[in-house]
Amino acid sequence: MNPIMSKSDAAALVVAARIRRGVTWAEIAGEIGAPVVWTTAALLGQHPMTEEQARRVCEFLGLEEAVAESLRLQPARGADPALMSDPTIYRFAEALSVYGPALKELIHEEFGDGIMSAINFRVDVSRRPDPDGDRVVVTFDGKFLDYRW
Count of chain residues binding a copy of itself (CB under 8 A): 97
In terms of CB distance, is 52 or 140 closer to a copy of itself? 140
Under the binding rule (CB under 8 A), the answer on residue 92 touching a copy of itself is yes
Under the binding rule (CB under 8 A), the answer on residue 26 touching a copy of itself is yes
Told to judge if 72 belongs to the known catalytic residues of this protein, a careful annotator would answer: no
Backbone angles phi, psi at 8, to 5 degrees: -75, -35
Under the binding rule (CB under 8 A), the answer on residue 53 touching a copy of itself is no
Between CA 134 and CA 44 the distance in angstroms is: 27
Among 30, 31, 37, 60, binds a copy of itself (CB under 8 A): 37
- Measuring CA to CA, which residue among 49, 37, 44, 35 is closest to residue 80? 44
Least distance (Å) between residue 7 CB and a copy of itself? 12
Under the binding rule (CB under 8 A), the answer on residue 131 touching a copy of itself is no
Three-state SS annotation for 10-38: HHHHHHHHHHHHCCCHHHHHHHHCCCHHH
Under the binding rule (CB under 8 A), the answer on residue 66 touching a copy of itself is no
Among 3, 22, 33, 131, binds a copy of itself (CB under 8 A): 3
Least distance (Å) between residue 91 CB and a copy of itself? 4
Q: Please answer whether residues 43 and 28 qualify as being in contact, where contact means their C-beta atoms are separated by less than 8 angstroms.
A: yes
Of 20, 21, 91, 122, which one is the catalytic site residue?
91
Residues involved in catalysis? 91, 94, 117
